[in-house]
């Protein structure tokens, strides 16, 4: 049992006891002096990519905040780096309640209000597990996750309001916009804004009416953003918290939705390049290289093995093809995104 859970239901600080015993003191209480009060849950928040097989992730925590009234044990702060050299756990989130159902509801609510930006996390997976009907009943065994993994890793779909909020935050219109913003002599000031989310491009039309009023058009939907008494509302509802780090905007709804503001002057190269380059998904050590220049490979063939965070990860060919170039050797230390193997361009 994790010690925060024991501490929550007994009111005992076990780490304090360990330190006291280590310094020569006796145990403060005997076994018969202890009692259990209620139920507790702990969720371990990790930097990991659950849909990719719980692959450990790295990155700089550009934003990190936990809800009030919830115990969150963490050894990192906003601005810290999740590196490949240590366990990628970000925090333990612990809740307590008079019954198991109450403690679980409190955990579910706490996970929804955790704010993490800068790296991939298992937060949405933890939230789905806390809402899982079988888990709520206590019908838990070692096969639960494997059986229901598809339901537990459903990717959240941002709604028009969340996209609109990302547009405004990315253009710095939520803070400090001048009162004359949007002024025009003839037609209203409108512009096209493009965002990337989960590999898909989103096109929005932004109409700035004033420093306190914007309309964002997304297809047939029109979202009205208005600042009332100093607080932003999106179609009348309070705006979700946001964090901006360069061109990356994270809207803290649905466990965190990340958007990248597209710079029209920095368009990427040709489509299909991703299938030609096998990249390191994280920093790590190249343990083995199986590919050779000129070798014919089939989709799914293992080309290299990367060791990161005490685990070995096989890097596979994304398509049939011929190896054009091997860019690393066994023993090389590589960064996330480093090109390892290049295939000849497909026809």
CATH of the domain at 187: 2.40.128
- Look at residue 2 and tell me if it is in a domain: no
Q: What pLDDT score does 296 carry? A: 93
Q: What pLDDT score does 67 carry? A: 96
Clarify whether residues 232 and 284 are in a common domain. no
Name the packing angle between helices 3-10 and 14-22 (round to 10°): 100
Q: pLDDT digits over 44-85, tens only?
A: 999 999 988 888 888 899 999 999 999 999 999 999 999 888
Q: What pLDDT score does 263 carry? A: 79
Average pLDDT score, the chain: 90
- Pick from 151, 134, 258: nearest CA to 197: 258
- Domain total of the chain: 3
pLDDT-derived band at 171 (thresholds 50, 70, 90) equals very high
The mean pLDDT of 93-105, rounded to a whole number, is 97
- Look at residue 26 and tell me if it is in a domain: no
Q: What pLDDT score does 241 carry? A: 97
Measured between alpha carbons, how far is 156 from 106 in angstroms, rounded to an integer? 21
Q: Is 273's pLDDT higher than 60?
A: no
- Look at residue 222 and tell me if it is in a domain: yes
Q: What pLDDT score does 184 carry? A: 54
Q: What pLDDT score does 8 carry? A: 96
The mean pLDDT of 20-37, rounded to a whole number, is 94
What phi and psi, each to the nearest 5 degrees, are found at residue 224? -105, 120
- Look at residue 7 and tell me if it is in a domain: no
| Cβ burial, residue 67 (10 Å; 0-12/13-18/19+) | middle
Q: What pLDDT score does 336 carry? A: 76
- Look at residue 8 and tell me if it is in a domain: no
Type and span of the H or E element at 136: helix 133-137
Clarify whether residues 219 and 249 are in a common domain. yes
Residue 125 · residue 152 · CB < 8 Å: yes
Q: Which two tokens stand for residue 146?
A: 């494997």
Q: pLDDT digits over 203-218, tens only?
A: 999 999 888 999 999 9
The least confident of 170-184, 259-273, 307-321 is: 259-273
- Pick from 37, 41, 34: nearest CA to 72: 41
The mean pLDDT of 236-265, rounded to a whole number, is 93
The mean pLDDT of 16-22, rounded to a whole number, is 95
Q: Is 79 helix (H, G, I), strand (E, B) or coil?
A: coil
The DSSP output letter for 276 is H
Residue 76 · residue 64 · CB < 8 Å: yes
Task: Report the CATH number that the domain containing residue 80 is assigned in CATH.
Answer: 3.30.470.20
pLDDT-derived band at 270 (thresholds 50, 70, 90) equals very low
Q: Is 266's pLDDT higher than 60?
A: no
Measured between alpha carbons, how far is 115 from 157 in angstroms, rounded to an integer? 18
The mean pLDDT of 266-274, rounded to a whole number, is 46
Type and span of the H or E element at 109: helix 100-113
The mean pLDDT of 141-169, rounded to a whole number, is 95
Q: Which residues pair with 65 in a beta bridge?
A: 115
Clarify whether residues 167 and 148 are in a common domain. no
Clarify whether residues 106 and 171 are in a common domain. no
> Which residue has tokens 């991703």?
274
Task: Report the CATH number that the domain containing residue 292 is assigned in CATH.
Answer: 2.40.50.100
The mean pLDDT of 111-128, rounded to a whole number, is 97
Q: pLDDT digits over 307-347, tens only?
A: 876 677 888 888 899 999 999 999 998 887 889 999 998 65
What phi and psi, each to the nearest 5 degrees, are found at residue 207? -115, 115
The model carries a pTM of 0.79
- Look at residue 28 and tell me if it is in a domain: no
Measured between alpha carbons, how far is 275 from 343 in angstroms, rounded to an integer? 8
What is the domain extent for residue 339?
A: 273-343
Domain boundary among 226, 261, 296: 261
Taking the CA atoms of residue 16, residue 19, residue 23 and residue 28 in that order, the dihedral angle to the nearest 10 degrees is 30
| CA atoms in the 13 A half-sphere facing the CB of 110 | 27
- Look at residue 205 and tell me if it is in a domain: yes
Q: What pLDDT score does 56 carry? A: 87
Q: What pLDDT score does 39 carry? A: 97
User: Percent of the chain at pLDDT above 90?
Assistant: 72
Measured between alpha carbons, how far is 283 from 83 in angstroms, rounded to an integer? 8
Q: Is 109's pLDDT higher than 50?
A: yes
The mean pLDDT of 296-305, rounded to a whole number, is 91
Clarify whether residues 251 and 296 are in a common domain. no
Rounded to a whole number, what is the distance in angstroms from the first to the last CA of the chain? 56
CB contact set of 24 (below 8 Å; sequence gap of 6+): none
pLDDT-derived band at 187 (thresholds 50, 70, 90) equals low
Measured between alpha carbons, how far is 278 from 280 in angstroms, rounded to an integer? 7
What phi and psi, each to the nearest 5 degrees, are found at residue 288? -155, 150
- Look at residue 286 and tell me if it is in a domain: yes
């Amino acid at each position: 049992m994790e010690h925060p859970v024991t501490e929550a239901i007994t009111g005992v600080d076990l780490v304090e006891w360990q330190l006291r015993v280590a310094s020569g003191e006796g145990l403060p209480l005997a076994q018969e002096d202890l009692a259990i009060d209620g139920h507790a849950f702990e969720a371990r928040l990790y930097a990991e990519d659950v849909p990719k097989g719980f692959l450990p992730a790295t990155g700089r925590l550009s934003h990190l905040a936990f809800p009030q009234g919830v115990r969150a044990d963490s050894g990192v702060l906003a601005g810290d780096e999740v590196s490949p050299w240590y366990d990628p756990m970000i925090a333990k989130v612990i809740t307590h309640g008079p019954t198991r159902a109450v403690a679980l509801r409190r955990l579910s609510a706490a996970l929804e209000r955790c704010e993490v930006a800068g790296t991939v996390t298992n937060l949405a997976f933890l939230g789905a597990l806390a809402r899982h009907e079988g888990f709520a009943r206590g019908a838990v065994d070692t096969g639960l996750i494997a059986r229901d993994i598809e339901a537990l890793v459903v990717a959240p779909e941002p709604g028009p309001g969340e996209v609109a909020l990302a547009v405004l935050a990315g253009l710095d219109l939520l803070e400090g916009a001048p009162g004359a913003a949007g002024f025009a002599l003839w037609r209203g000031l409108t512009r096209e804004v493009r965002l990337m989310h989960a590999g898909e491009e989103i096109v929005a039309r932004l109409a700035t009416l004033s420093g306190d009023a914007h309309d964002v058009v997304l297809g047939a939907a029109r979202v009205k953003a208005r600042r009332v008494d100093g607080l932003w509302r999106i179609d009348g509802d309070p705006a979700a918290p946001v964090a901006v780090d360069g061109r990356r905007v994270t809207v803290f709804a649905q466990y965190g939705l990340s958007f990248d503001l597209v710079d029209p002057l920095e368009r990427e190269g040709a489509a299909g390049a991703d299938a030609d380059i096998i990249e390191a998904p994280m920093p790590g050590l190249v343990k083995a290289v199986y590919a050779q220049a000129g070798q014919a490979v089939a989709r799914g063939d293992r080309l290299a093995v990367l060791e990161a965070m005490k685990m070995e990860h096989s890097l596979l060919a994304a398509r049939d093809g011929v190896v054009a170039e091997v860019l690393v050797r066994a023993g090389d230390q590589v960064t996330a995104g480093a090109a390892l193997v290049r295939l000849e361009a497909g026809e």
